[in-house]
């Protein structure tokens, strides 16, 4: 999805506001899963600040994540504020001539060419970097039993959870026979 910035590209200080609903089916081969039939809501303002086009706004999406403890799928609402700077690719050569130290603003810099900015990659990347590293369906999630694989949120298991350090297993031989069963 490309956004036409031709109306602001030659007018410093001018802005355009974009509200889009991108269907989930456009993201179907991505590293994340969106809720069936949902939309990614994009509300962005593109502003010409002279040498850069800055983009500020929000992205909202309903994702389906897998809990890192119990492995079940659960719904997750993602709401992200974004701010990115787009430089015209024709200025790229001038940037490489002069050596400079990178700062935190350079990490949110993207290049564009022509009179349009592709929104899809920016939205996709911002969703990816804002998904929790270890998603959890709820804070009280008990996870799965490491021995039998039962979901401990649904039922208790009768597995013995003896954690014996294998290096100390030899010491069991020193116990009398009736103590070994414990």
**Can you tell me the distance from the alpha carbon of 79 to that of 62, in angstroms, rounded to the nearest whole number?**
9
- Contact assessment for residue 115 and residue 6, using Cβ atoms and an 8 Å cutoff: yes
Region 98-103 average pLDDT: 62
Query: Sign of torsion, CA 57 27 65 124?
Result: negative
| The predicted structure's pLDDT at residue 99 | 62
Q: What is the pLDDT of residues 11-39, one digit of tens each?
A: 888 989 999 999 988 887 778 888 888 99
Q: What does each C-alpha distance from 32 to 23, 39, 62 come to in angstroms?
A: 14, 14, 11
For 82-138, give the DSSP string: EEEEEEEGGGHHHHHHS-----GGGGGEEEE-TTEEEHHHHHHHHHHHHS-SS--S-
At 85, list the tokens: 């700077």
Would the pLDDT of 95 be above 90?
A: no
The whole-model pTM stands at: 0.73
Label residue 98 by pLDDT band (50, 70, 90). low
Give the strand pairing for 39-48 and 52-66: antiparallel
47: which strand partners?
15, 54
């Amino acid at each position: 999805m490309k956004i036409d910035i031709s109306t602001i590209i030659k007018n410093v200080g001018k802005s355009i506001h974009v509200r889009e609903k991108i269907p989930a089916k456009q993201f179907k081969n991505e590293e994340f899963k969106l809720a069936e039939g949902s939309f990614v809501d994009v509300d962005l303002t593109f502003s010409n600040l002279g040498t850069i086009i800055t983009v500020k706004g929000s992205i909202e999406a309903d994702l389906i994540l897998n809990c890192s403890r119990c492995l079940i799928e659960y719904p997750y609402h993602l709401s992200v504020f974004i701010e990115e700077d787009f430089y015209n690719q024709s200025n790229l050569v001038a940037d490489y001539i002069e050596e400079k130290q990178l700062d935190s603003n350079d990490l949110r810099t993207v290049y564009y060419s022509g009179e349009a900015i592709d929104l899809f990659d920016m939205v996709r990347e911002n969703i990816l970097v804002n998904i929790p590293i270890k998603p959890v369906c709820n804070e009280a999630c008990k996870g799965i039993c490491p021995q039998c694989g039962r979901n401990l949120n649904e039922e208790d298991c009768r597995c013995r959870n003896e954690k014996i350090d294998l290096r100390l297993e030899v010491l069991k031989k020193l116990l009398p026979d009736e103590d070994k069963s414990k």
